[in-house]
Amino acid sequence: MSSEKQKIVIVGGGFGGIELAKKLKNKNVEVTILDKHNYHTFQPLLYQVATGGLEADSIAFPIRKIFKGQKNLTFRVTEVKQVLPAENKILTTIGDIHYDHLVIATGSTSNFFGQTEIADNAMPMKSIPEALNLRSLILQNLEQSLIVDDKTEEAALLNFVVVGGGPTGVETAGALAELKKHVLKNDYAELDINKVNIYLIEGSPELLGAMSLQAQEKSKSFLEELGVTVLTEARVKSYDGKAITLLDGKVIPSSTVIWSAGVKGVILEGLNPEAVVRGNRLKVDNINRIDGHDNIYAVGDVAAMITEETPNGHPGVAPAAIQQGKLLAKNLLNIIEGKPTEAFKYFDKGAMATVGRNRAVVDIGKIRFQGIFAWFTWMFVHLMTLVGFRNKLVVFVNWVWSYFSYDRGTRLIIRPFIKGEKWKAINNIKSENSGDGKLESPKVETTVS
């Protein structure tokens, strides 16, 4: 490669970072992607890994394979420690890396809103290790419930609570309800299935707040048909690992609380602190350049492009990240060549969520529909968005098998999860994968949802 080529460094192998790098193929630039994992994660289906519907490797794809044959791209597995804007370099666990243009595509992580007790005991689901830990915990609690004598402990083991009524929360609650309805009664013949309870807690008056009224009402109806107890206008006060307490005083014994009540951007140390806005996101201009920096950009969940039309920035969904990454590639080339840049305009492709078999809600512009057709639409869109033909095929076969057999084939406790040692368990996995323990910090997320 010519030393005259400008170097574009991308931190994060999520939807935005991947799309940006793809669009720079065969261009007169050097591209470097950095991520703490060697794979891209399809986050919208993490809940299916957590509930035994899919294996983890069916929603992950090797980053190197994505860019096979792209000669102007280098990929490195590393953790980014700090950005030094004045020196145009970043500090990483594998050494210093210089850049001409830096793109932050670090995505988001679970937001516990400063409630450390909840953070220590609730289960997040923003990465594959977290989803696998949740799957182990769910299955371990079911096994333990068969041998305990204490009724309160048994109730806690069999009560599953999902906090947050957005798409992730709704889909997770629906998946748990179907697990109870179709699988547990066969796997656990000695278990009184009526003792298994699933709760969905949402602080606002409705579920799926960003979707239409029809979608909100129908999703709640679908969940209640499946036996989920939906609690709206309910806020969590505390959770000690054994019982969750709401602000109205209601106490629900539970050893499994799944947190999907909010996310926050993953920001690297060294960036302009005045650019950090609500949701721990980085304020960017209309070409995704971070406020206060000339050659540092952000795309996806971590970016907040605040305008009159989008006072809170764009939604943290894959289409927004992909569109930002695609246009930023074009604008970076224009900047390098001294050409005018193009302002970002988001094309909203709609929103959708599935609640279970033949149950989904879809909003596309002014078109709203629910039920089986919406469910097939949801499946098609997610299959097409998955990276890699193999992953598409594996997921499709799993879905077809589950549909006709009413079964889920990945109910495995691969590694026991010790409650209360959440981050330790995750970090131990990273150390085993890296061989040197250098990738322990959860600082850089890998995907953009």
Residue 29, both tokens: 């630039």
154 catalytic residue (yes or no)? no
Residue 392, both tokens: 């598409």
HSE (side-chain half, CA atoms, 13 Å) at 69: 2
Residue 162, both tokens: 């999902």
State the catalytic residue, choosing from 171, 178, 202, 440.
171
DSSP class of residue 80?
E
Q: How many CB atoms within 10 Å of residue 105? A: 37
φ, ψ of residue 128 in degrees (nearest 5): -65, -45
Which residue intervals of 292-349 are DSSP H helices? 318-336
Contacts of 439 (CB under 8 A, 6+ apart): 36, 77, 78, 79, 93, 430, 431, 433
Angle, helix 372-385 to helix 389-405, in steps of 10 degrees:
150
Q: How many CB atoms within 10 Å of residue 308? A: 5
- Sheet containing 89-92: which strands, arranged edge to edge? 80-84, 89-92, 95-98
Nearest to 408 by CA among 222, 131, 133, 135: 135
Catalytic residue annotation = 171
